[in-house]
Amino acid sequence: MESHTKNKQSIEKIDQMAKLAFDGMGITSAKELSDGCFNAVYLVELMDGRKTVLKISPPHDALIQIYEKDLMYAEVEAIRLTAEQTDVPVPQIYYYDRTKKLCDGEFYFMTAYEDEPLGRHINELAKEDLTILRTEMGSITKKINEVKGPAFGYLGQPELFCDTWFDAFYMMMDNMLLDAQRFDTDLYIDKNELREMLKKEKDLFNQVKEPRLIFWDLHEGNLFYRGTKITGIIDFERAFFGDILMEFGFRVHHEDKTDFYNGYGIASLSEAEKRRCLWYDYYLFAMMAAECPFRKYDTDWLEKWTNKMAKECIARLCSI
């Protein structure tokens, strides 16, 4: 998708980046990978034949949401923590530059996976193969969630860390509401009413005692596979420390949760956990609806879908 935040660079500039990262090694080609919505991403071939992926953050003056500050740092840090503490197949970061000297954004070079994205072939797979892969999605999610954090909050903004999960989630929700207010985005409920609703359920969120590493975006589109084995994971940029129930596998639109639950090792959720999931469903879709005016996408299908889902989720949340 085309997005206002994509910081595209010329072939000459990418060659300079590669020479900085790989001891003077230039490139033979750079092909833009257009699947993402936030960063500019390129498949780069070096002069010696090696392939790598280059990811470039938005320019410093790009209009972004509050939680999107320092997302590239968050991603690199989340990959580092996951690599150090688990056997999850994360990419290797070859070089990370935060100086913004070569271009007006941060950038890094990482592993270029040779296998196929699972999301691209999801409808072609046999049911039994998909069951195996989605079960592994559950087990991989659990491994990531076993990484503990020092506090709750955005991984890229440690200055905003909170001691309790309620305080962190309230801050995340409040920031989303402030972003929505900038473009007068309809979130299908009065914003102050929503804040008061959330405050009344403080004890529900404070049942979560340990901050865990949350990928938050672990869906089929961010997974690579070969046969019935997941071989790679990308896009850790939205990682934070929080409640494990924030993960994709627990979301309402992930309809068949049986395989995911089996892989994660849980049979069912308590009533309190289900209630928190309703809040997280709404937060996800409201945040995605709020982001559309920021991104200035070249299509409106995402805006229509996220608004539909946000409306349904808040109706469900208010009815129980």
Domain boundaries, the chain: 11-111, 116-319
The answer to whether 233 and 263 have CB atoms below 8 angstroms apart is no
Residue 1: per-residue pLDDT: 64
Residue 292, pLDDT score? 87
Please report the pLDDT score of residue 53 as a whole number.
Answer: 98
Distance of CA 176 to the CA centre of its chain: 15
For the chain, 320 residues long, give each residue's pLDDT as a single digit of tens: 677 899 999 999 999 999 999 999 999 999 999 877 799 999 999 999 999 999 999 998 899 999 999 999 999 999 999 999 999 999 999 999 999 999 999 999 999 999 999 999 999 999 999 999 999 999 999 999 999 999 999 999 999 999 999 999 999 999 999 999 999 999 999 999 999 999 999 999 999 999 999 999 999 999 999 999 999 999 999 999 999 999 999 997 766 789 999 999 999 999 999 999 999 999 999 999 999 888 888 788 888 999 999 999 999 999 97
Q: What pLDDT is attached to residue 213?
A: 98
Please tell me the predicted confidence (pLDDT) of residue 255: 64
CATH class belonging to 11-111: alpha beta
**Separation between Cα atoms, residue 237 and residue 39, nearest integer Å:** 10
CATH architecture type of domain 116-319? Alpha-Beta Complex (3.90)
